[in-house]
Chain A
Amino acid sequence: MIRESPPRGYELQVPYIIGIVELGEGVKILSQIVDVFPEEVRVGMPVEMVFRKIREAGVEGIIEYGYKFRPRMAK
């Protein structure tokens, strides 16, 4: 969990959780883990991708969107 010195553009999100996510094909990527309390995150937790706002870029504040992951919802 990032608690201090967030890079410019991420200041308002502190604190935020970053995890290593293993995709179905075995590729590992880094991603923010959202919609969950920090104490609930554990290694091996099934997650699913969600489309979210990443940051507002530059002084114009253009919004960048992208992927984040959240705990997989029960089916």
Chain B
Amino acid sequence: MRKTAIIGVGCTKVGEFWDKSLRDLAVEASWKALDQAGVSKVDALYVGSALCQLVQNQGNLGALIADSLSLYGVEVLSVEASDASGALALHEACRAVGSGEVNLALAVGVDKPSDASSADASKALMAGVEQEYLAYTGVNVRGLAAFLHRLYRERFKVSHEEVAAMAVNSHLHASNNPYAQYRNRITVEQVMKSPVIADPLRLLEVSSLGDGAAAVLVCPLEEAGKYAGTPIEVAGAASASGDFILTEAEDMLSFKATRLAAEKAYRRAGITIKDVSLAEVHDCADVIGLISLEDLGLAERGEAAGMAASGKLAVGGSLPTNTMGGLKARGNPGGATSLYQIVEICWQLKGEAGANQVSNAKVGVAQSLGGLYSLAAVTVLRRV
């Protein structure tokens, strides 16, 4: 397999866009990524979306977005893997380029949940979770996270305030990200006073859906010099499946999908956790972000909350995490969210992260979950 590099990234702001369609968002992000590399054509297009079939009733997204980009004759593939859709689209793009079959592949993640009512969006989000035994009870994704929140605090003897520090950290970072949906800073006190949405989870601890698209352009590493811009190596990309029914996991507070994907991705990249400069983790709820850090090996079991509370996850801390706001504050545009993580790490590794720049960032790890815990995508990016 050839080594691959990212030579262009782009994203839209995350928000509620009443005047833009699914395809408008995808095109905006894609043109940014293509412009950065100075190209207008690609050989293959991979489009990840978690919700488009349920919210817009739009399938066949690969061909739709290709046509919208005036790309004809390209190989297209639509990828659905819940919130990890975008990351898996990128992994497929890297595999295609790595194999030597294509030279330029574009991965796009897009979703526009604001087209759905709250109940329909909640149901659509649950499509990534097992239907016969879990969704059937009427539980929503936040309800599942609420169980883990309670169990995490009981098992590891950490306070609600320490867990909430994860959400506070994400908002702190989003305040400097012009693409973020929620740029307001919040305090632990505000989190603790926000309404309970699924006991014991409070409103300010969970991400909310937004519209958005992100795009990443991939070429062979050895050819990256031919294009404009600074290349970033995709050093290791791996995904892994895990338990599909939460209550059947041996340990509900550790997702084997993340552990197995991380192991593979680190091995492929030839790195250890000591090499990691910054991380993007799937904080759809604060506690899920904490569990993710622990499953990635970047925090000891039960200690991620303490790291959040002591500022270690902030820019300038020992492990800057979710440096552009994470799902919590940058916003969670469904299948696009995992490609936003990639875009943001590229900004960091290229030194383009503005006020949130992590000094001397060399290696970034992005982790995304599909179906809350059953599927994980881990991507290791490295400055060339």
Which residues does A use to contact B, with CB under 8 Å?
A: 1-11, 13, 16, 18, 20, 28-32, 38, 54-55, 66
A2 touches B138 (CB 8 A): yes
Chain B contacts to A: CB under 8 angstroms: 117-123, 126, 133-140, 142-143, 147, 195-199, 246-248
CA distance A54 to B137 in the complex (A): 8
Q: Are A29 and B138 in contact (CB under 8 A)?
A: no
Q: In the bound complex, do residue B133 and residue A7 qualify as a contact, i.e. CB atoms below 8 Å apart?
A: no
Q: How far is the CB of B125 from chain A (nearest CB, A)?
A: 8
Q: In the complex the two chains form, is B138's CB within 8 Å of A4's CB?
A: no
How many whole Å from A51's CB to the nearest CB in chain B?
A: 14
A selection of 16 A-B contacts at a CB cut-off of 8 Å is A1-B198, A4-B197, A5-B122, A5-B140, A6-B140, A7-B119, A7-B123, A7-B138, A7-B140, A9-B123, A20-B147, A20-B247, A30-B246, A30-B247, A38-B199, A55-B138
Which B residue's beta carbon lies closest to that of A3?
B197
Across the interface, do A5 and B137 meet the contact criterion of CB distance under 8 Å? no
- Which B residues touch A6, using CB under 8 A? 119, 122, 138, 140
With A16-B138, A18-B143, A20-B147 known, 14 other A-B pairs at CB within 8 A are A2-B139, A6-B140, A7-B122, A7-B123, A7-B140, A8-B120, A8-B123, A20-B247, A29-B133, A29-B247, A30-B246, A32-B137, A32-B138, A55-B138
CB <8 Å contact, B135 and A7: yes
Instruction: Kindly report which residue of chain A lies nearest to residue B120, judged by CB atoms.
Output: A8
Are A3 and B122 neighbours in the complex by a CB distance under 8 Å?
no
